[in-house]
Amino acid sequence: MTDLEIFLAAPRGYCAGVDRAVETVERALELQGAPVYVRKQIVHNIHVVRDLETRGAIFVDDVSEIPEGATVVFSAHGVAPTVHADAQVRRLDVVDATCPLVTKVHSEAKRYDARGYKMLLIGHEGHEEVVGTMGEAPDAITLVETAEDVPLLPAFSEDQPLAYLTQTTLSVDETRGIIAALKARYPWIHSPVKEDICYATSNRQAAVKELAKEVELVLVIGSANSSNSCRLVEVARESGAASHLIEDETEIDLAWLDGVSRMGLTSGASAPERLVRGVIAWFEQRYTVTSVTEVETVHEDVSFNLPRPIRRALAVIDADAAE
Ligand code: SF4
């Protein structure tokens, strides 16, 4: 068997927002029993979705598919206010698992809108997070996907207050270029007080950049609809390594390994760690894996509280148990 050294990016995999969203569905199932309805994929990973389905979660595209009065969990990507309104009409019991860092962008959008700003949202058309954020101020937000879009944007006058926001899971480097183009066209444009691209996205991109310097090939575990996973592939390629996105070990093409003796592995923010272990085990059956080395660029210790309805229900159980 051929020798292979494996290098693991750190941090990789679950971020605090995904961890919270998945645990929210798990707790809702424990507390209320099946079924628990979830609007859209709770996080963009097919393995996570299938696993929760086997435990009794039912994923729907729209709240109109949910029986009146049932419990619904909103996904980590956030929803537009119209979705909350629709849920209210159906008297749904809502558990909102929107990541707090996405909620922060929604709050910015609402604040700017209330102050008469027009906003340019840097993001990917159709992504659930973008749909949700734009829903906060549909008449005030224009989407910008690339730096090439900037000359095509409206010619706002200088007395029109203007701000930009970004999706949380973009490429840090690419977004920098789009922001530079916006600032060149609209020098008075306001920046968010704190970067909207989240810590997990930035950290995983920084980690894969370092990893790509060490290896010939980087495999990224994640689903094709996971924005941050797709960005990791792009960053690895821009940093000089070949790179491919895989759902799991079944998608590995051995031809990618031709001439490769040092391989990197990382995973998107919605991919569970067990998939990384599965890929390593797959290689161990086919290669002499001489080492598995973690390349840590930053240590993460971020965590978020579960949504309030879940915390309240757990507190009641704890109080009953203490009596
Ligand atoms: S990637 Fe960032 S914004 Fe998205 S869920 Fe994770 S922490 Fe939240």
User: Is 31 contained in some domain?
Assistant: yes
Instruction: Give residue-wise pLDDT tens across range 35-52.
Output: 999 999 999 999 999 999
- Atom 8 (ligand 1): residue with closest C-alpha? 17
Domain count, the chain: 3
Whether 236 and 270 map to the same domain: the answer is yes
Distance from C-alpha of 46 to C-alpha of 249, rounded to nearest angstrom: 14
* 109 and 180 housed in the same domain: yes
Structure confidence at residue 323 (pLDDT): 79
Spacing, Cα 157 to ligand 1 middle (Å):
34
Indicate if 234 belongs to the active site. Answer: no
The CATH number of residue 164's host domain is 3.40.1010.20
Do both 237 and 261 map to the same domain? yes
Q: Any idea what the Cα angle at residue 236 is, between residues 230 and 237, rounded to 5°? A: 95
CA–centroid distance, residue 168 to ligand 1 (Å): 7
pLDDT per residue as tens digits for the range 58-89: 999 999 999 999 999 999 999 999 999 999 99
In a domain, 71, yes or no: yes
Beta bridge partners of 195: none
Based on the fold, state whether residues 203 and 291 are members of the same structural domain: yes
- Identify the pLDDT of residue 140: 98
Structure tokens at 197: 């691209």
210 and 143 within one domain: no
Separation CA 235–CA 92 (nearest Å): 41
pLDDT at 33: 95
Instruction: State whether 156 and 212 are in the same domain.
Output: no
Whether pLDDT at 321 is above 90: no
Q: Domain containing 156: what range? A: 101-185
Say whether both 47 and 73 belong to one domain: yes
Do 224 and 164 lie in a common domain? Answer: no
Confidence of residue 193 (pLDDT cuts 50, 70, 90): confident
C-beta of residue 36 within 8 angstroms of C-beta of residue 295: no
Residues 247, 167, single domain; the answer is no
pLDDT over 90 at 107, yes or no: yes
Q: Is residue 271 part of a domain?
A: yes
Ligand 1, atom 7, residue with closest C-alpha: 17
Q: Is residue 109 part of a domain?
A: yes
For position 20, which CATH number holds? Answer: 3.40.50.11270
pLDDT of residue 198: 96
> Does the pLDDT of residue 199 top 90, yes or no?
yes
- Ligand 1 pocket at CB < 6 A: 15-18, 76, 99, 101-102, 168-169, 198, 200-201, 228, 269
Distance 72 CA to ligand 1 centre (A): 20
Calculate how far, in angstroms, residue 185's C-alpha sits from the geometric centre of ligand 1.
30
Closest ligand 1 atom to Cα of 99: 8
Catalytic position from the list 30, 68, 125, 129 = 129
Residue 191 lies in a domain: no
Per-residue model confidence (pLDDT) at position 318:
86
Distance CA 58, CA 83 (A): 17
Q: Do 205 and 287 reside in the same domain of the chain?
A: yes
Say yes or no: 162 and 246 in one domain.
Answer: no
Ligand 1 atom closest to residue 168's alpha carbon, by position in its atom list: 3
The pTM for the full model equals 0.95
How crowded is residue 315: how many other Cβ atoms within 10 Å of its Cβ?
10
Tell whether 29 and 57 lie within a shared domain. yes
Backbone angles phi and psi of 186, in degrees to 5: -125, 80
pLDDT band at 137 (very low <50, low <70, confident <90, very high): very high
pLDDT above 70 coverage of the chain, percent: 100
